[in-house]
């Protein structure tokens, strides 16, 4: 079906050059260069074109890239040169084809230019701290990161990253200005104590946003009261969005802190 858009009528008479890409469950045809800012690479299988040309500018318009935890980025033959927002999605049903084999980022940096990256979204992916460190070193403009609290806490038990010191954490992520974190259904006191302790050392950030998805049975109002007290003592501006406990079983509490 797609081949009819790659005949002489479109290419020679109208100069409309196209490429079609096959994913595991779908196909997509688009003009060259790809016209949109967002691109999602789920499970690449193949591409087709009857045109011999340079494809260096194919994805020059793409600034937001979503990758899945598989080797599609290795197989994908085209380069992403202008990525500013990168997110990685977990894909647990492919245990033998991971995005970072042997704990290296070679396949990623081979197809994605990280020098312009500003936001790294890890909200649905549990990345290893050592891999994250490699990505951070290749991303001098990284200023915003979205991650799970478990990932943030892991930095403080990884000697290479933080040597169990808050100061080393901020030195490692010195370019970060905004940190968005969440944790789901966690009721342990040490999880809350971690954030209460960390808030004493967040002067580096301009914004920190903490989101907790929990249930009515483990919702802890005291935790957010303590964070607000810490923010007040540091003269931070903050906004608490409390949950509507009476209307839903799953409740989401958000605390956003601005640091000047």
Same domain as 240, residue 138: no
Q: Which residue has the higher pLDDT, 178 or 205?
A: 178
Mean pLDDT for 72-95 is 86
What share of the chain has pLDDT > 90, as a percent?
Answer: 22
Same domain as 115, residue 4: yes
Provide the whole-model pTM. 0.80
pLDDT of residue 128: 87
Same domain as 183, residue 131: no
| Residue 222 domain boundaries | 174-260
225 falls within a domain: yes
Contact 146, 89 (CB under 8 A): no
Tell me the average pLDDT of the chain.
76
Q: Which of 102, 127, 142 is the last residue of a domain?
A: 142
Task: Give tens-digit pLDDT for 217-237.
Answer: 445 566 667 777 777 777 777
Contact 162, 155 (CB under 8 A): yes
216 falls within a domain: yes
Task: Return contacts of 234-238, CB within 8 angstroms, 24+ apart.
Answer: 234/199, 234/200, 234/203, 234/259
pLDDT of residue 163: 45
pLDDT of residue 121: 92
Same domain as 86, residue 211: no
pLDDT of residue 175: 84
Locate tokens 């964070």: which residue? 227
Same domain as 132, residue 11: yes
Tell me: pLDDT of 42 over 50. Answer: yes
Same domain as 136, residue 58: yes
Binned at pLDDT 50, 70 and 90, residue 191 comes out as low
Task: Give tens-digit pLDDT for 10-36.
Answer: 555 546 677 778 777 777 878 788 999
CATH label of the domain that carries residue 184: 3.30.110
Mean pLDDT for 29-54 is 79
185 falls within a domain: yes
Q: Which of 102, 121, 142 is the last residue of a domain?
A: 142
């Amino acid at each position: 079906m797609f081949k009819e858009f790659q005949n002489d009528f479109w290419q020679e008479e109208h100069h409309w050059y196209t490429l079609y890409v096959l994913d595991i469950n779908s196909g997509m045809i688009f003009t060259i260069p790809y016209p949109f800012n967002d691109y999602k690479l789920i499970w690449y299988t193949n591409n087709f074109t009857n045109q011999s040309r340079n494809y260096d500018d194919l994805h020059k318009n793409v600034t937001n890239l979503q990758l899945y935890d598989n080797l599609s980025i290795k197989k994908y033959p085209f380069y992403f040169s202008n990525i500013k927002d990168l997110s990685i999605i977990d894909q647990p049903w492919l245990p033998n084809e991971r995005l970072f084999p042997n704990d290296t980022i070679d396949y990623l940096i081979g197809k994605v230019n990280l020098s312009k990256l500003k936001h790294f979204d890890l909200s649905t992916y549990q990345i290893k701290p050592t891999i994250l460190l490699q990505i951070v070193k290749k991303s001098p403009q990284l200023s915003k990161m979205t991650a799970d609290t478990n990932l943030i806490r892991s930095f403080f038990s990884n000697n290479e990253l933080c040597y169990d010191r808050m100061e080393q954490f901020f030195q490692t992520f010195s370019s970060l200005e905004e940190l968005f974190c969440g944790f789901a259904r966690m009721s342990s006191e040490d999880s809350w104590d971690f954030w209460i302790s960390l808030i004493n050392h967040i002067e580096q950030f301009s914004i920190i946003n903490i989101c907790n998805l929990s249930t009515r049975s483990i919702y802890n109002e005291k935790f957010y009261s303590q964070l607000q007290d810490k923010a007040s003592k540091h003269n931070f501006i903050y906004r608490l969005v409390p949950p509507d406990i009476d209307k839903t079983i799953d409740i989401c509490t958000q605390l956003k802190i601005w640091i000047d």
